[in-house]
Structure 1
Amino acid sequence: MHNHPEHELDDDFDDRPPSKSQVKRDMLALQDLGKQLVDLSPEKIKQLPLEEKLFEAIRLAQRTTAREGRRRQIHYVGKLMRDADADAIRRQLDIWENGSREQTAAMHRLETLRDLLLQDDNALTKLLNEYPGADVQHLRALIRAGRKEAENNQTLQPGQTPQRKHYRALFQALKALDDAA
């Protein structure tokens, strides 16, 4: 091994400034993040950790309808993003995005459960084991009404609108049960 300190590289610390390419990639990432913020609703923007100047720039970009003016305003938002807490903003955006995926999955699960309850008598027993505090009589009434509604819908003439009142009511009861648990 040579005793030349200038040839020894410390892998954990590089005191060289970032390359021009890296600086450009970072700036473009901030620009993209700024554009994502412009596409958000005003209610969501208010929930983000933004300085007033950045918040106002985003709101102005949202109100700007001229294509070139909007592009320039979004570019300005990207420039202001250099001073923002981009990591905190990205974390919040990720929470919103993943939260909505989880909510969609929960809705699909409840829809499947509702359909199963309307088709299979044993499904209610399984549901009651999972939710022992459920109102059995109310659920049975909704299931009966939903089944009757489905039967009536099968005899409709072409062009007639199927009824979904009890079908929806059963879903809402399952959602309330799930939310309470």
Structure 2
Amino acid sequence: MYDEYEDPDDERPSKSQLKRDMAALQALGVELLSLPDKRVAALNLPEPLMDALAEARRIKGAHEGKRRQLQLIGKLMRHVDPAPIREAVAEFKLGRAQDSLQLHQAERWRVRLVEEDSALQAYLQTFDEVDVQQLRSLIRAARKDRAQAPEQRNGRAWRELFQMVKAHVLAEARANGLSGAGDEADADAPREADDADEARHDD
């Protein structure tokens, strides 16, 4: 009972505060696992921590071994400055959010271009350096494909239209300084998002 008493006049960190700090460091260490290797390497972390992160990535599932490895990462995190890590994680999350927003914007444009005749003019007014002939061709092909029975669709024009629109959306975002924070990690995200969309399209 008395062991848990914390003197309010004691300026040293309380046991409960130390526990909270340790838990926060472990959580930050876990978030390091979500960063691309290039971003982690740029942080110049101590070798023991880098080794622990690599081992945690190799351990699959949520069993006891993974839990112990994450605890080790938390302990090693006590010996590094957490500020640059927090900044890197925050920047990466912002980049992912921006990339996701741009993918959704590209998808909305694709649907509009296929479903609305008036969308083409609005698109040309929004984006620069558009190959109008190629865009018209992809729209026609995508409309023709979608008119087919599901078992006869191949989705190629639908996918190519998305890739073209996505390139314009990302180019505009870069020009406005709204893209690039999540570049390495999300290199595969557009393809994954489009693959999932294609599966819905074919159903």
Normalising by structure 1, we get a TM-score of 0.76
Unaligned runs of 5+ in 2: 1-8, 173-203
* 1:77-106 residue CA offsets vs partner (Å, 9 max, x unmatched): 211101112121122122222221221111
Q: Distance in 1 between matches of 2:145 and 2:94?
A: 36
**1:173 equivalenced with 2:164 (yes/no):** yes
- Counterpart for residue 188 of structure 2: none
Residues 54 and 168 of structure 1: CA distance in aligned 2, closer, same or farther (over 3 Å) = same
From 118, 121, 125, give the equivalent of 2:121.
125
Q: Which has the larger radius of gyration?
A: 1
Instruction: Report the count of equivalent residues.
Output: 163
From 33, 43, 50, give the equivalent of 1:55.
50
**Residues 38 and 74 in structure 1, CA contact (< 8 A), matched pair in contact too:** no
- Counterpart for residue 200 of structure 2: none
Structure having greater relative contact order (Cα 8 Å, sep ≥ 6): 2
Aligned partner letter, 1:178: V
- List aligned pairs for 1:118-157, cutoff 5 A: 118-151=114-147, 153=148, 156=149
Q: Distance in 2 between matches of 1:137 and 1:72?
A: 58
**Residues 139 and 170 in structure 1, CA contact (< 8 A), matched pair in contact too:** yes
Q: Distance in 1 between matches of 2:39 and 2:102?
A: 22
**Residues 32 and 89 in structure 2, CA contact (< 8 A), matched pair in contact too:** no
Q: Once the two structures are aligned, what percentage of the paired residues are identical? A: 40
Residues 72 and 130 of structure 1: CA distance in aligned 2, closer, same or farther (over 3 Å) = closer
Q: Distance in 2 between matches of 1:118 and 1:38?
A: 40
Residues 15 and 116 of structure 1: CA distance in aligned 2, closer, same or farther (over 3 Å) = same
Residues 101 and 39 of structure 1: CA distance in aligned 2, closer, same or farther (over 3 Å) = closer
Unaligned runs of 5+ in 1: 1-13
